[in-house]
Chains A and B, each alone.
Chain A
Amino acid sequence: MLAKLMKYEIKGTARIFIPLYLLLLLFALLNRIINPFSLLENSDNFNLQVLFSIISVTVYFILIIGTFVMTLIIMIQRFYKNLLGDEGYLMFTLPVKSWQHIVSKLIISMLWTILSFITAICSILILVNVDNLSEVLSLFISKFTDIFGTAGFFTLPYYALIALISNILMIYGAIALGHTFSKHKLMASFGMYCILYVIYQVVMLLFILLFGKKNITSIVTSAAPSVLQINTLILELSIPLIIILVANFILTNTILRKKLNLE
């Protein structure tokens, strides 16, 4: 059932993201071909070509920002509209558990967030003419391993993933809480997000004060913290995120199960 829910979640979102990604890549390519940056630098007088360059660059930047804004909006809209709006009448009468609704939406939101990043990076690579891509890449990797070690290739993506899940579930939790209000549900959701965010900050701070203090002090004071110290800190800092993540999941699921009140 989870796989089927995800299939329909992809169907419902791909029709927006795929054209957006294609458009972004297309404009990156267009900008690469007409090369407006050098044109803008070298041209003294204003002409049609310059105007066209300005437009093309502007559109590209709007698209790249728009991709991330869209990722966030669709994330919110799919949860709010598909589950708690009129469409919820269908979704919640399917023979499916409420946690499966949350997990299917979560996984597909993560998928699009990651794809948005990958597409944005690809578009930059298309736009900027990197002749020595492999050289730049190996330089980056060697700098990276100097600080984080090989373990960093696991700890950092792990932390990023936990942070992403935690943030998405916080948004879901806020929307679910906002839904329990009888009026101004969207406004209430926004307010609830602020409250959840403050709680998150407090938990993070408490955790650092109680458990992480020693490790952080030693990293800050030492001139060159060891790879082990840094990776330990990353793993430690993921613990409060996991606590927040689990709490928000339970909160959202409980509201959907017990406090559901579709308009």
Chain B
Amino acid sequence: MSNILTCRNVTKVFGSKVAVNDVTLDIPRGKIVGLLGPNASGKSTFIKLCNDLLTPTSGEILIDGNRPGIETKKIVSYLPERNYLNDWMKVSDIIGLFRDFYSDFNEEKAYDMLKKLNINPKDKLKTMSKGTKEKVQLILVMSREAQLYMLDEPIGGVDPAARDYILDTILSNYNENATIIISTHLISDIEKILDEVVFIKEGKIVLTKTVDEIREETGKSVDSLFREVFKC
């Protein structure tokens, strides 16, 4: 089976700053991949390039054989690292919006998860705390039956209890053929669910390995390897 995501020499330059530097990468289907790197290493920029929010300066990105555009947006579920919800909407309004625009959105699943996290669908987003909004956003994104999920810092702002629930949610909601790319620097929390890791530093890929390979070859956990590679 072909790879879900293929990058060939992708570079993104902002003015004089190189944010993503000659990235070549293949991500297979059916994997949970950690995109790991310190702050400002180009993680978010890379994910934005894959979601057509930025245009690469050079190189090519293919998702399921297509360049980022309408066709890829139909099959990619993206969680940005910021709150993109309209403040004046109710949770049920935004669920309606997802249902209207994404044919792979599973409304039932969304309401079910809201109930489990004690979020009232009739509440306005304006009245919610930052953490609750993050939960709502993650629920929306994970309620899509997408082929590729790209989660940018999905657990940064929520408490550890909800963090566990969210990781469970991620695990229980993804089907076997879907791939999840999670960008984060909170490695120890997500290490147990990862199949593969990609280390990114100053816009460059410095390591791509499966978690099993890392354990066998180095005898280290991903977390300690990360600390070693990115030692300041």
Q: A interface vs B, CB < 8 Å?
A: 1, 4, 7-8, 11-12, 15, 82, 86-90, 92-97, 182, 257-262
Contact = CB atoms under 8 A, between A and B. Distances in A.
Interface residues of B, number: 26
Contact of B102 (A82, A88, A95): A95
B55 interface: yes
B52 A92 contact: yes
Nearest to A12: B86
Nearest to A98: B52
B222 to A, nearest CB: 28
A99 to B, nearest CB: 12
A254 to B, nearest CB: 11
Contacts of B85: 87, 90
A96 B70 contact: yes
B115 interface: no
A87 B94 CA distance: 12
Contacts of A95: 70-71, 73-74, 101-102
B101 A262 contact: no
B84 A90 contact: yes
B88 A262 contact: no
17 contacts: A1-B101, A7-B100, A87-B85, A87-B86, A88-B53, A89-B84, A90-B84, A92-B52, A94-B101, A94-B102, A95-B70, A96-B101, A97-B70, A260-B54, A261-B54, A262-B48, A262-B53
Contacts of B102: 94-95
A7 B102 CA distance: 15
B210 to A, nearest CB: 29
A258 B53 CA distance: 9
Interface stretch (B27-35, B75-83, B179-187): B75-83
Given A182-B15, A260-B55, A261-B54, A93 B83 contact: no
A228 B55 CA distance: 51
